[in-house]
Structure 1
Amino acid sequence: MSRRYPPVPNGSTTRMPTVVSAIDALRKPIQARGEFLILFFNFDRYEKIEEIYGWEKLDSILDTTATAMRETLQQAKLGNAELLVVFPNDDDFVLLHVPEEGIEATPDAELTDLTLKLQQNISAAIEAAHGEDIAALFEIFVGRSHVIYNPKLRLERQVYRGIREASNASKSLEHRDQARKVADLRETLRTGGLYIDYHPIVTADSRKIFGYEALARGTMRSMRSPEVMFEVAAQADLIWDLSRLCRNRAIEGMNGLLKDDQLLFMNVDPADFADPAFTEMDLKVSDPTRVVIEITERTAIKDYPKFRERLKAFRARGYRFAVDDAGSGYAGLGSIANLEPDFIKLDMSLITCIDTNFIKQNLVETMVRFANDQKAMVIAEGVEREEEFDMVKALGVHLIQGFFIHRPSQTAPQPSAHTPAAKSAAV
């Protein structure tokens, strides 16, 4: 039997059929065979990707994922199968597999091999299309359900019950993987297995490097993504331990990296200010005026008056502050008004495709006017295209950060094709 794909509903992000249309297409094969297999593909961190990069980026990643899954499954020897999105606009996938007549249901060994191939192929496709940072967030857990068809029961109910069973199985795998990650994090903390990538921030007018944001990376593959590391640390109550290691590593590298009046931007969560080991006197910084503390707000600030008092002590030593990811999560207008930052770092979801989105343009322009009135500077992060760069510059954004100009590295970057030094050399 050959694979058949039912008509795709209008508006499908992945151009794949829904559960309902797949059931209709497979009704007769299921009734004839008397059994079917359900694989539930749980893409654990796609929700996190949407939070960080915005819905446009996740839609593009879902399309990449669907294409890679289709290509992998077309090479697999599964017989009659359907690939589909579980529900419209969701980010998990389901494979309904009806074994061909005379062939037993796919054994566990073949399914394990298929899962590994899917992981490798999807991860490679995402890294090629969307970069290493997003690929580092990619994780897939595959749950399985073998359903024996019962003609007394409505087929739709049997399918949905099978999907729930397969989904629960995938979550069980996810929990086991989480325990492994906690062990990896403890090993990272014990050995200091962490390094810093420095991501340049440039002035919009001259494109000269204004400073660097310190981005922590674990040396273990499972800890490569800072989002993963801090998520695991929060669940294991190791946030302070991880934050201390990240701060120390970032500061260790600043003396050999910074030139002239360049600044170091260092991410700090509000919860870190409750750490007894984090005070304005404990940071081993020779010149605090060259350090900008980025308030990341992974957690909400519950007591602004008390928090401002903590910031006051740091300001007195010369430290400056930035509100990170402004316009996302807890980092809203209230945080900007209460914290009075020296820098306002716009969330990349506001910057992605800003050249074609008038609402985003108006929001950014308003934020720039506000910052100018408050003698603060606006940073646009996540600039990946020339059109985005030109637009944020035209809107008056002071500083820009993104792959269009520079990628993060452990050392000072060489001039890129979009920097003045490189353009001069090419003349």
Structure 2
Amino acid sequence: MKRMARIKDKLAAWGKIFLPHSCVRYYPPQFIVRNPVVQGVGNAFDEGCEVAVIAYTVHNHQELAQQLGGEYPQYLSKMKNHFRYAVNKEIEERNIIVLHDYFSYSLTLFIRVEDGRQCISEIAGKMKKILCEAETKINGEMSPVAPVIDTGFIFIDKNHHSIQEAVLNGQQQALAISAKKGQSEFNQMVYEVNKIVAEKNIRLLAQPIIDVASKKIHAWEMLTRGPEGTSLESPLQLFSVARQTSSLYALEMIVLEKTLEQILLTQCREDIFINFTPITLGSPRFVADMKEMLSRKGAIPPGQITFEVTERDSIEEIENFVYNIKELRRMGFKIAVDDTGAGYASLNTISEIMPDIIKIDRSVIENIDKNSVKESMLKGLLLVAREAGSLVVAEGIENEEEASVLSRNKVDLAQGYFYARPGRLNSLASV
């Protein structure tokens, strides 16, 4: 009977080879004919999306196996079911590529990220919610030992010549982050980020922000790239790894330093937008470090600099954030809030800090000329901005039709490929 059951299980697993991808999202077998992870990642890339891989590793799996004995396989099966439940609760089904159990002590979740500017903090938040939900259910089971689970994530390299290798590399890196210091891969990532910070090996690109009424350049947003030709060239990869290896503050301060140098080098007179996470802006070191850097770099008027609050970290949990924002304002710097319209967190941030500039997320702007509901959303956000006394920047404008909607609604500022792609500040400033 047991032999027949094993044969039946094997046939069921192999039968999945012929099922559509939607039927093999959860714990697929190791395929030879086709790989649902590679297929799903490839489809996401074809749609212009990013893919994040999240790893969950049970550190005390050997202890669990010893304590549970013959019940350990059943315990693992229940744990996998609890994770599947938690993933379904937190991630939209269309964005779930595969939840996989490559090893008995770890799970990897591949998710489709629709917007290339999707916030790293939002993915980190979902990752933690999934873990919390799963642990609550797991710890409710009768077990003498609770699992010790850690997690990490990485974005899969879209520019790799082989999707299969990119998937494998991404999985290994995510597992290394979740396993932390015990893994050589994690130590290598720490080394690479520390080397970038030590050598200040980043590039800055600039994208113009246009006055909608006059069509003239009002400001420039500075965009960061890692070392060219490496896996950390992508800002998504660079900042997600920096965040998880305790290098985020140092990296963002290098961005500030290089931006100030670019302003002086090019003698730029327009406003400059610099992206910062709430974690860095809320650091007790930030204001003092920024003042010291500004004094070293020369006479750059604070009013020329706009600190753009990116990501969706909860500012209520960052002790010095509101105080630092007030200090920056007192000194003459301006504050912008990014991704407005993409979720509650950005609207909550507006009410907390009353920014000088509100940037409306691409998700509101895309195809706005064909969607009256989106135009109504834009009008509502414009009312919020007027009430807060804020200028409005519409992001991600890609065609004349979208730009025309901004004109008739009297949006202040806009940026996107319709106006110009990112480039070097000195080249663009001379145009």
Query: How many angstroms does 1:298 deviate by?
Result: 4.3
Equivalent-residue separation in structure 2 for 1:289 and 1:21 (angstroms): 55
1:305-355 C-alpha deviation (Å, 9 max, x unpaired): 853222111111100100011122564221111110000001111111111
Q: Secondary structure of the equivalent of 2:273?
A: strand
Q: Which amino acid aligns with 2:164?
A: V
Q: Secondary structure of the equivalent of 1:409?
A: coil
1:277-307 C-alpha deviation (Å, 9 max, x unpaired): 4115234162101101101134221258853
Q: Which amino acid aligns with 1:60?
A: E
Matching of residue 89 in structure 1 with residue 99 in structure 2: no
1:266-285 to 2 correspondence within 5 Å? 266-279=274-287, 281-284=291-294
Query: How many angstroms does 1:41 deviate by?
Result: 3.1
Equivalent-residue separation in structure 1 for 2:208 and 2:233 (angstroms): 20
Unaligned residue ranges in structure 2 (runs of 5+): 1-17, 25-30, 50-91, 100-115, 117-154, 177-184
1:220-369 to 2 correspondence within 5 Å? 220=228, 221-257=230-266, 259-260=268-269, 262-279=270-287, 281-284=291-294, 286-303=300-317, 307-329=321-343, 331-369=345-383
Q: 1:230 to 1:304 in 2, by over 3 A?
A: closer
Q: Among 17, 36, 39, which residue is 2:35 paired with? A: 39
- The question of whether the paired residues in 2 share the 8 Å contact of 1:299 and 1:330 is answered with no
- The question of whether the paired residues in 2 share the 8 Å contact of 1:199 and 1:408 is answered with yes
1:213-259 C-alpha deviation (Å, 9 max, x unpaired): 11111124212121211100111111111111111111111123454
Q: Secondary structure of the equivalent of 1:405?
A: coil
Equivalent-residue separation in structure 1 for 2:42 and 2:35 (angstroms): 18
Q: Secondary structure of the equivalent of 2:48?
A: helix
Greater alpha carbon shift after TM alignment, 286-295 vs 213-222: 213-222
1:42-57 to 2 correspondence within 5 Å? 42=38
1:158-191 C-alpha deviation (Å, 9 max, x unpaired): xxxxxxxxx9997347536766544322221121
Q: Secondary structure of the equivalent of 1:382?
A: coil
TM-score (norm 1): 0.60
1:92-112 C-alpha deviation (Å, 9 max, x unpaired): 489xxxxxxxxxxxxxxxxxx
Q: Which amino acid aligns with 2:422?
A: P
Query: How many angstroms does 1:193 deviate by?
Result: 0.8
1:98-153 C-alpha deviation (Å, 9 max, x unpaired): xxxxxxxxxxxxxxxxxxxxxxxxxxxx9xxxxxxx9975567638xxxxxxxxxx
- The question of whether the paired residues in 2 share the 8 Å contact of 1:383 and 1:404 is answered with yes
Query: How many angstroms does 1:39 deviate by?
Result: 2.2
Corresponding residue of 2:217: 209
TM-score (norm 2): 0.59
Q: Which amino acid aligns with 1:234?
A: R
Q: 1:388 to 1:258 in 2, by over 3 A?
A: farther
Query: How many angstroms does 1:406 deviate by?
Result: 0.9
- The question of whether the paired residues in 1 share the 8 Å contact of 2:156 and 2:170 is answered with no
Q: 1:381 to 1:413 in 2, by over 3 A?
A: farther
Equivalent-residue separation in structure 2 for 1:294 and 1:266 (angstroms): 6
Equivalent-residue separation in structure 2 for 1:282 and 1:60 (angstroms): 45
Corresponding residue of 2:403: 389
Unaligned residue ranges in structure 1 (runs of 5+): 1-15, 23-34, 50-57, 63-86, 95-125, 127-133, 144-166, 422-427
Equivalent-residue separation in structure 2 for 1:257 and 1:185 (angstroms): 28
Q: Which amino acid aligns with 2:94?
A: N
Equivalent-residue separation in structure 2 for 1:232 and 1:20 (angstroms): 30
1:174-193 to 2 correspondence within 5 Å? 175=175, 180-193=188-201
- The question of whether the paired residues in 1 share the 8 Å contact of 2:272 and 2:305 is answered with yes
Q: 1:385 to 1:189 in 2, by over 3 A?
A: same
Corresponding residue of 1:18: 20
Task: Looking at secondary structure, tell me which structure has more helix per residue.
Answer: 2
Q: 1:276 to 1:413 in 2, by over 3 A?
A: same
- The question of whether the paired residues in 2 share the 8 Å contact of 1:201 and 1:212 is answered with yes
Equivalent-residue separation in structure 2 for 1:381 and 1:40 (angstroms): 34
Equivalent-residue separation in structure 1 for 2:172 and 2:283 (angstroms): 34
Matching of residue 61 in structure 1 with residue 61 in structure 2: no
Q: Which amino acid aligns with 1:37?
A: V
Corresponding residue of 1:113: none
Equivalent-residue separation in structure 1 for 2:307 and 2:40 (angstroms): 30
- The question of whether the paired residues in 2 share the 8 Å contact of 1:216 and 1:226 is answered with yes
Q: Which amino acid aligns with 1:278?
A: F
